[in-house]
Amino acid sequence: MDNTGVQTANPRKWIIRSAVIALLDILIIAISFSVAFVLRFEFDFSTIIDLYLRAFLTVIPFVALSAVILFFILRLYHSIWRFASIYELERLIIAWIVIAVSSVVYCFFDYKADGIRNIPISVWVMGIIFGFAGTTALRFGYRFIRFVSNSTIRSNKGRSNVMIIGAGSCGKEVIHEYMMSHHLNAKVRCAIDDNPIKKGRTLDGVPIVGNRNDIPRMAVKYEIDEIVFAIPDARGVDKKDILDICSATGCKVRVIPGIYQMIEGSVKVSSLRDVQIEDLLGRDPVKANMESIRKYITGKTVMVTGGGGSIGSELCRQIAKAEPKLLIIFDIYENNAFWIERELRENYGDKLNMIALIGSVRNTNRVNAVMEKYHPEIIFHAAAHKHVPLMEVSPNEAIKNNVGGTYKMAQAAVKWGVERFVLISTDKAVNPTNVMGASKRICEMVIQMMDRRTQKQFDAGEIKTRTNFSAVRFGNVIGSNGSVLKIFEKQIAAGGPVTVTDKNIIRYFMTIPEAVALVMESGAYARGGEIFVLDMGAPVKIDDVARKMIKLSGLVPDVDIKVEYTGLRPGEKLYEERLMDEEGLRKLEENPEISVAEPIPMDDDEFSKQLVDLDAAAKAETDDIRVKVSEIVKTYKYKK
In the chain, DSSP finds a helix count (H) and a strand count (E) of: 21, 22
* DSSP 8-state secondary structure symbol assigned to residue 461: T
pLDDT of residue 143: 63
Q: Where are the beta strands (DSSP E) in 428-507?
A: 468-474, 476-478, 498-500, 506-507
Q: Report DSSP letters for 8-45, one per residue.
A: PP-HHHHHHHHHHHHHHHHHHHHHHHHHHHHHHTTT-G
pLDDT of residue 284: 61
pLDDT of residue 376: 97
Phi and psi dihedrals of 382, rounded to 5? -110, -5
Phi and psi dihedrals of 479, rounded to 5? 95, 0
- Domains of the chain from N-terminus onward: 11-152 (no CATH), 160-275 (3.40.50.720), 294-477+511-534+583-632 (3.40.50.720)
For residue 433, give the nearest of 575, 584, 539 by alpha carbon. Answer: 575
* Angle (deg, nearest 10), helices 405-415 and 364-374: 30
pLDDT of residue 192: 93
pLDDT of residue 2: 42
Q: Which residues of the chain have pLDDT under 50?
A: 1-9, 113-116, 259-267, 579, 581-582
pLDDT of residue 589: 78
Strands 468-474 and 420-426: parallel
Q: How far is CA 305 from CA 356, 362, 473, in A?
A: 10, 11, 17
Q: Which ranges of 49-85 would DSSP assign to H, the alpha helix?
A: 50-73
Q: What's at 215, amino acid-wise?
A: I
**What's CA 44's distance to the chain center, in Å?**
67
164, β-bridge pairs: 191, 228
Q: Are 190 and 203 in contact (CB under 8 A)?
A: no
Q: What is the distance between the alpha carbons of residues 362 and 450, in angstroms, rounded to a whole number? A: 18
Q: Are 192 and 208 in contact (CB under 8 A)?
A: yes
pLDDT of residue 259: 44
